[in-house]
Amino acid sequence: MSLVKRISLPKISDPRGNLTFIEGQRHIPFEIRRVYYLYDVPAESERGGHAHRNLTQLLIAVSGSFDVLLDDGKSRETVTLNKPYEGLLIDCFVWREMKNFSSGSVCMVLASRVYEADDYIRDYQDFMRTVRKE
């Protein structure tokens, strides 16, 4: 099964422009407990470099584009996000790295849980040991 789970979001278009909306449990498979966004990211920056134990998230390029590498310990895939009406669902125990942020890009993230520092696996070898045990 592909690691890349894209979710198409509603897009309402009229002469004034486009509008996209997201309802937890309707368009995405979790209640939204937190929203955060990455912006003013320098082109050479790399973000992520971790996995989560319990967190599910939806990433959306609400402006511009960036690449996301996904790794579940068995395979790796890289996807480019560049559409404000498309989300990338990332389950727990998936390593992610983000790079190639375009100028002015904004990555909005909808998260299933509040911020918990101890939910992160920040060391790749720890991640591999953890997913091999599952």
Is 9 or 98 the residue whose CB approaches ligand T46 more closely? 98
CB of 80 vs ligand T46, minimal distance in Å: 15
Reply yes or no on whether 52 is catalytic.
no
Q: What are phi and psi of 16, to 5 degrees?
A: -85, -10
CA angle 73, 114, 79 (to 5 degrees): 40
28 DSSP β-pair partners: 24
- Binding interface with ligand T46 (CB under 6 A): 34, 36, 38, 47-48, 57, 59, 96, 109, 115
Residue 114 CA to residue 123 CA, distance in Å, equals 21
For residues 27 and 47, which CB has a smaller minimum distance to ligand T46 in the complex? 47
CA 44 to chain centre: 19
Minimal distance in Å, beta carbon 73 to ligand T46? 16
Query: Shortest approach of ligand T46 to residue 16 CB, angstroms?
Result: 31
Is the CB of residue 70 less than 8 Å from the CB of residue 81?
Answer: no
Nearer to ligand T46, 62 or 109 (CB): 109
The single residue of 47, 50, 83, 99 carrying the catalytic annotation is 50
Active-site positions read: 50
